[in-house]
Amino acid sequence: MPIIILMLGWLQGCATPHISPTASNQIFANFTLDSKLGQYAPIIAPQGTEFKHNRIGHAAARRDDNGNEEIYIATDQAIFYSDEQTFTTSRGNHYQNLVYRFHFPYVPQPRLTAGKNGGLFVILTLNAQQQPVLITTVHTCGCYLAIVPTSYLATTAYPKGWNDNRQQVFGESLPERLDYPTQFSREWRPVIHLRRDNHRVLDISLSKQEQLHGPIETIQLATISALDRMPLDNSFTSFFHRSGRHKGYVKGAGKLWELLLMSWWSFDLHIGNDKRLGDPTKTGTVFYTSLKPWARDASNMWFFADFLDYWGWQL
């Protein structure tokens, strides 16, 4: 067991060298105002975008040399696969989630999360006044969950014992709260800073469009359902397996290191595999955010009110 822990530390250490969160040469943003998803869209600032694997792309399909279907992330166009959801908490309060999903070509070796077609979710939770109260980030495998409250959320809704210092999330330091102006304006967007290579969220800040530095690439908005209608030959295919024991998981997104080092104690042979977010009775997968096997249903992000309760939030 000590050897396994050392290996995990080494792999993760390879993934998280100290790099300034401002070291980004390409910014991905959408400032269209014709939809709510465009009006609130986060800004994504990855490091190392001179390398293709650090650039946001879109899901695509092709045939390999043997004529087999191959799913990959093309970087000629960046896309947010987006959705709107509403939920009501056990306290009778109503909220809306704006969901943004995006993907990268791959995470290079020898990092723990090395593999193809991985991505992240950014979820903005709006209150009845249409103010963001929570910013949730998580990889599309359910890993590295972070929930950052904003100044529009009363501290009484925070988990018990919430520390008024930056929060530590698996080795990354994130804000304990994001302070918006007293008078909310949609001009202020959350900026999600991503570490090079492993695409971990290393910081979250606020910015207006005119305050951004560096080239900006427009990230288009598409619906989540577009992932089930990717052109291939004269038909369409899905980003996800639709049947069998891999149902609900992203095609070609296996994580070798996580399988070898984590599957046996997490009781999940799909550990680290990117997956659908949805009702597990339909998707075939549970989008759990806790590695505790007994907490899979309780930490399922699809049922957002229950998910928040599990993590101690009292909205």
Which tens digit of pLDDT belongs to each residue from 291-314? 999 999 999 999 999 999 999 999
What's the pLDDT score for residue 271? Answer: 87
Phi-psi domain of 109 (left: phi exceeds 0; alpha: psi -120 through 50; beta: other): beta
Q: Is the pLDDT of residue 249 over 80?
A: yes
Question: Residue 286: which residues within 8 A CB-CB, separation 6 or more?
Answer: 280, 296, 297, 300
Q: Please check whether residue 9 lies inside any domain of the structure.
A: yes
CA 257 to chain centre: 20
What's the pLDDT score for residue 162? Answer: 93
Most confident of 12-16, 65-69, 100-104, 113-117: 100-104
Give residue 123's domain range: 2-310
Q: In this structure, which amino acid lies at residue 262?
A: M
252 three-class SS = coil
Q: Which of 285, 35, 297, 13 is nearest to 140 (CA)?
A: 285
32 three-class SS = coil
Counting the structural domains of the chain, the total is: 1
How much is the average pLDDT of 197-205?
97
Q: Please check whether residue 214 lies inside any domain of the structure.
A: yes
Q: Please check whether residue 240 lies inside any domain of the structure.
A: yes
Cα(109)–Cα(127) distance, integer angstroms: 41
The DSSP element (H or E) to which 309 belongs, if any, is helix 304-310
227 three-class SS = helix
User: Which letter, b or e, does each residue of 125-156 get, where b requires 16 or more Cβ atoms within 10 Å of its Cβ?
Assistant: bbbeeebbbbbbbbbbbbbbbbbbbbbbbeee
Q: Please check whether residue 315 lies inside any domain of the structure.
A: no
Q: Please check whether residue 233 lies inside any domain of the structure.
A: yes
